[in-house]
A and B are shown apart, each in its own frame.
Chain A
């Protein structure tokens, strides 16, 4: 028990120090491009943390979270464009819709194991993309362009400066980081880890595995949808090729895996590193065709190959060897 409090105390100090650094840092930045990169970091961090619940803690690797990302983005877009609603409200409606869809699709799909689950979610996201591409109510391939100057900027979450975006997104990152931290050491978190370690034995000790997997799936869908809503408001333009490509589903995994799967701050670390690599390789190397993505791919391979437990294993020497299973945690 004391140990638990200790961890918490240090976590709070770390958290506040990190938050302070994140708040102060942009004040030294004078050009928008680095700020743009930081905003993307926030978006990817939220997505990575959301995906982490189902892919990291519960070990059910989904390769189709772009669907929820897109749904979040579209709910905001349609809300602003067709109903003049504030994104502050519609983003939560998006979360609800995503969770509902995750509930409906999760029930049959979560019965699948391993690669089958990954492929089924991939097919799910691909269906979503094609349906949105041909659905005229949501703009189809033309997408939604929802720049709206008629209402006050805080109501529509549309600013010309990047600072408000950054701080709003940072707030959500902090919120979800705290949520993850809270669930990390909760019964829910341990159940999910037990399911990841061995689903059959988790079932046999009385954990309702189907229920907890579904809950984790819905939670992660909701958070990823939130990220989609935020990104849509930042971009002020969405179409299915921007918010729903297969690549986004893979990148979400990549963020979590590079940082450290199944850990609290892993996805955040992954988002920082991956976004910086991706944006700066593009800005630096794009004068040769394809060279930027080539460098990006090589760097990803090196990091994933030599740090299979994520970049976080550099910081956390205790967990360097492997992520602890519940059994090992009990032993300690």
Chain B
């Protein structure tokens, strides 16, 4: 399970770096999209890219989504993947 989580986290960081143009060394599990100064429209693009990558639907009404950590985002992705395969 640890390896699966790491792979998801790595992919999420890759997507954030690609969509925001940030150097991926600046992004870690503890980062929040707000800390990274990601503009709000890039945030929408990141959410969409993550949904496409993992074939999931992220909650759109979560007011913490921009301030929550990437680790939290990864946990939500993992939860949805587990639910789909259960």
Q: Do A and B bind each other?
A: no
Q: Which residues of A contact B (CB under 8 A)?
A: none
Q: Which residues of B contact A (CB under 8 A)?
A: none
